Structure 1
């Protein structure tokens, strides 16, 4: 694609495509997401999209400047799929847990797209809504602004990092994925205690643990750390060395 995007008011195609559908940004994004899932990054070409939509490839320029612009729209749609289902309860820790697990699950449902989008900043409507939502949860819980931003940063980066890592595993060919899973049972679980005492002692737990994503446990660790930090900023610290303790009912001096 090139820098020929049509202004918003002129985008809608007035005639149906060969397949009888009217093009829209949402239809193109959904089609791109499906093609990425089926064929990987190579699917994101105007020729393949046009063929799948039954439209002339040039019609896509009405909606997106280039394939990277379309990829950012795909990234924003993945965020939107989480936000459209999320229902906050007002309990900050539960809400962040729910939101994180939903985000991770939505990326795992589209591993090929996750690999292409987890590191991107879209600057689009759903991403902006997500930033506002998470910061609102944290500020509403009582985190000072600097702490709210710091926790937001860690929470989002952790979620996206695990989403990309787990997506990379899901995107492996079936044989390679089975070989990786089998290595824990076939190699690590059989190491002798004489040479590898710690692996041998924990082998059953290790095999079970490494067969699933570490994200839920990592999320709980971050939430626990955030809870502790919130308690610290809410509680006054000890008086500085040399300071006199206040006497109830008396002023200074």
Structure 2
């Protein structure tokens, strides 16, 4: 896709496509998300999208200027799905934990799209809502504005980094994933204590733990550090 664009008022296609559907941004994004999961980054082409939608590829320019514009819309859709049925409880730590786990789970549900988009800043409606929501949780908990931003930054970067890391693993073919998991049992669990005492002492824990994401543990560590910082701030007030 190139830098062409149609004014918003003229974007909506009024006639059904060959498959009997009316094009919309939502339909294009949903189709792009499905194709990315099926075919990877190469799915983001006008020709492939047009074929999947039963539409003339040029009609996509009514909605998106180029493929990167579409990718940002896909990234924003993933954020929107995270927030869709989330409701705050008033417990800032529980609320952030829930949000973080939702971000991570959403990435694992669409691993190829997450790998492509986890590091992007969309500036779109769902991302703006997420930034507003998380900052609201932190400010409501009593974090001063500079601290709220620091914790927000660490929280979001941690969630997205683990999302990209674990999504990349989930996007591997199953035989490759199984082979990597088997290394902990086949290699690490057999290293002798004489040469590798620390690995040998913890081998059974490595075998059990390393096949799972460490994000929940890392998230709890971050929340504990944030809570300790909030206690410190309150103690000085």
TM class by shorter chain equals over 0.9
Q: Aligned equivalents of 1:234 and 1:102: distance in 2?
A: 29
The offset of 1:109, in angstroms, is 0.3
Q: Aligned equivalents of 2:85 and 2:164: distance in 1?
A: 21
The offset of 1:123, in angstroms, is 0.3
Where 1:157 maps in the other structure, the secondary structure is helix
In structure 1, the partner of 2:186 is 186
In structure 2, the partner of 1:244 is none
Where 1:64 maps in the other structure, the secondary structure is coil
Question: Does residue 124 of structure 2 align to residue 90 of structure 1?
Answer: no
Q: Structure 2 matches for 1:199-218, cutoff 5 A?
A: 199-218=199-218
Question: Does residue 122 of structure 2 align to residue 103 of structure 1?
Answer: no
In structure 1, the partner of 2:27 is 27
In structure 2, the partner of 1:119 is 119
The offset of 1:212, in angstroms, is 0.2
| Aligned residue-pair number | 237
Q: Aligned equivalents of 1:85 and 1:195: distance in 2?
A: 52
Q: Aligned equivalents of 1:147 and 1:178: distance in 2?
A: 42
Q: Structure 2 matches for 1:10-89, cutoff 5 A?
A: 10-89=10-89
Where 1:235 maps in the other structure, the secondary structure is helix
Q: Aligned equivalents of 2:125 and 2:236: distance in 1?
A: 39
In structure 2, the partner of 1:245 is none
Where 1:151 maps in the other structure, the secondary structure is helix
**Higher share in helix:** 2
Where 1:76 maps in the other structure, the secondary structure is helix
The offset of 1:226, in angstroms, is 0.2
**Unpaired runs of 5+ in structure 2?**
none
**4+ runs of 1 displaced by more than 6 Å?**
none
Structure 2 length-normalised TM: 0.99
Moved more, 104-113 or 167-176: 167-176
The offset of 1:9, in angstroms, is 1.4
In structure 2, the partner of 1:3 is 3
In structure 2, the partner of 1:144 is 144
User: Greater CA radius of gyration, 1 or 2?
Assistant: 1
The offset of 1:7, in angstroms, is 1.7
Q: Aligned equivalents of 2:8 and 2:138: distance in 1?
A: 35
The offset of 1:57, in angstroms, is 0.1
The offset of 1:3, in angstroms, is 1.9
Question: Does residue 134 of structure 2 align to residue 131 of structure 1?
Answer: no
Q: Aligned equivalents of 1:7 and 1:193: distance in 2?
A: 69
Q: Aligned equivalents of 1:156 and 1:128: distance in 2?
A: 13
